[in-house]
Amino acid sequence: MAGTVAADTAGQARQMLRERGLTVTGIAQTAAGGSSIVLFWRGLLARRCRQEVSQFIGELATLLGAGIPLLSALQTLAGQHSGRLAPVIQALADDVASGVPLAEAMGRRVEWFDDTAVSIVRVGENTGSLEQALERLAEFRAKAHRLRGRIATALIYPAIVGTIGLAVAVFLMTHVVPDLIAALNEAGRPLPAVTRVVKAASDFLVGWWWLLVVAAGALAAGAVLLARSRAGAALLDRLALALPLVGELVRKETTSRIAVVMAALLRSGLQFVDAVGIARRTVGNGVFRGALEEYERAVTAGRDVAGPLKSSGVFSPMVVQMLAVGQQAGRLEEMLDRLAASYDAEVAVAAQRLTAALEPLVIVLLAVVVGAIAFAAILPILEVSNVMQ
């Protein structure tokens, strides 16, 4: 069997495949062309359907709880769902019908089912508690959706206001200002300095708008390339943690995600070291990934786990203490649940603070821009009016 898996290194890819119960005979890096691009776009489409995947997992758990066999449940859901997920569910049913375990079938579709889902389902199948494993997975995904929803909600209003304000400024610069200044020039009056500056900006926007579009596209492409490079991603990750308010939100959201993932995996019966490794791969921030990697090494080597967590500087003293005490006392799942609940509430507070700071900032910036354009257009009219009086 051949397939494609997304990983930073060949060693990481080999480890991910072994965790899925697969025997690795060889690994080759895909070219930077067709297959990787196809996988990238398939991943984008799949991320847009996270909610539908979570709904499918919850429905599958409900059907299994009602005593319906796994194959029949999958076939029922394949006929019930529509869109891009329907053929995926049907493919899962076909694999299960041919004797493939559900976890392995999910692992073949990494763009739809991540390591967390595959690991929880595999443990459920091995222990004969697939229904409970799917219920825990659905609960975990619901918590993750709530976290992402809070952050998205915090950014919606500033984004809408900023877009509308930018559209108003562009309309004024391309339609109102040129006609108004042309009328003033016909009157033979010299234009004030601020009006000449706005006129120059308006002329450039009208005559060279395509250059601005090209420059914006180039900047966007450069930002994407920077974010996808190892050094650029590391720089952006550190910058995100250093920004006021944003850093606090990223730190607490990432900590909450780690706690939720590890609690769900440990509750499903996964080994602690494996849970740490999977939690590390679900984290988007590279600084946190590095800290978890050191934590994983310390656990594997039997060293003190508090030291690596504390030296990373990304975890608060409370998090370090709770993880260390929970592991030593054998109450790590309980500690992780408390930590997730605590940081879940703090994420909501941090999102509200970010919204409260962004809203007036965006409004003030737009007021300054639009006000400057209006002032530059009205000032010559007021001077002409004063002269006439």
Comparing C-alpha atoms, which of 73, 39, 69 is closest to residue 56? 73
Nearest-angstrom CA–CA distance, 201 and 138? 53
Out of 197-211, 212-226, 297-311, least confident range: 297-311
> Which residue shows structure tokens 């639009």?
370
What pLDDT is stored for residue 19 in this prediction? 53
How far CA 46 is from CA of 49, 53, 112, 117, 150, in Å, comes to 5, 9, 6, 14, 21
The pLDDT-based confidence of 386 (bands split at 50, 70, 90) is low
Using DSSP's 3-state secondary structure scheme, residue 343 falls into helix
Q: Which helix (H) or strand (E) holds 163?
A: helix 130-171
Q: What is the mean pLDDT of the chain?
A: 75
How far CA 184 is from CA of 179, 180, 378, in Å, comes to 9, 6, 11
Q: Residue 30 pLDDT > 60, yes or no?
A: no
The angle formed by the CA atoms of residues 201, 207 and 212, to the nearest 5 degrees, is 75
pTM metric for this prediction: 0.61
In this structure, which long-range contacts are made by residues 319-325, counting pairs with CB atoms below 8 Å and at least 24 apart in sequence?
A: 319/255
**pLDDT tens for each residue of 82-119:** 777 788 888 888 888 888 888 888 888 877 887 778 88
What pLDDT is stored for residue 46 in this prediction? 45
Alpha-carbon dihedral 224, 225, 226, 230, rounded to 10 degrees: 120
What pLDDT is stored for residue 188 in this prediction? 65
DSSP 108-119: T-TTTS-HHHHH
Nearest-angstrom CA–CA distance, 356 and 92? 45
Most confident region among 83-97, 141-155, 281-295, 341-355 by mean pLDDT: 83-97
CATH class of 10-142: mainly alpha
**pLDDT tens for each residue of 169-193:** 888 777 777 777 777 666 666 777 7
Encode burial over 360-371: b for 16+ CB neighbours within 10 A, e otherwise. Answer: eebeeebeebee
Contact indicator for 81, 97 with CB cutoff of 8 Å = no
What pLDDT is stored for residue 329 in this prediction? 63
Q: Residue 147 pLDDT > 80, yes or no?
A: no
What pLDDT is stored for residue 150 in this prediction? 67
**pLDDT tens for each residue of 251-276:** 888 888 788 778 777 777 777 777 78
What pLDDT is stored for residue 33 in this prediction? 36
What pLDDT is stored for residue 323 in this prediction? 72
What pLDDT is stored for residue 35 in this prediction? 39
Nearest-angstrom CA–CA distance, 134 and 218? 44
Mean pLDDT of 12-26: 57
**Higher per-residue confidence, 213 vs 340:** 213
Q: Which tokens in the block code for residue 265?
A: 């995996």
What pLDDT is stored for residue 38 in this prediction? 42
Q: Which tokens in the block code for residue 194?
A: 């601020």
Nearest-angstrom CA–CA distance, 268 and 283? 20
Contacts for 143 with CB less than 8 Å, ≥ 6 apart:
260, 340, 344
Cα radius of gyration (the chain): 27
Contact indicator for 92, 74 with CB cutoff of 8 Å = yes
The pLDDT-based confidence of 229 (bands split at 50, 70, 90) is confident
Contact indicator for 133, 120 with CB cutoff of 8 Å = yes
- Percent pLDDT > 70 in the chain is 77
HSE-CB for 69 with a 13 A CA cutoff = 6
Q: Residue 31 pLDDT > 60, yes or no?
A: no
What letter represents residue 102's amino acid? L
The pLDDT-based confidence of 336 (bands split at 50, 70, 90) is confident
Which residues of the chain form CATH 1.20.81.30? 10-142
8-state DSSP, 372: H
What pLDDT is stored for residue 39 in this prediction? 39
**pLDDT tens for each residue of 34-72:** 333 443 444 445 455 667 788 888 888 888 888 888 888
**pLDDT tens for each residue of 115-133:** 778 888 887 887 777 888 8
**Higher per-residue confidence, 26 vs 308:** 308
**Higher per-residue confidence, 38 vs 149:** 149
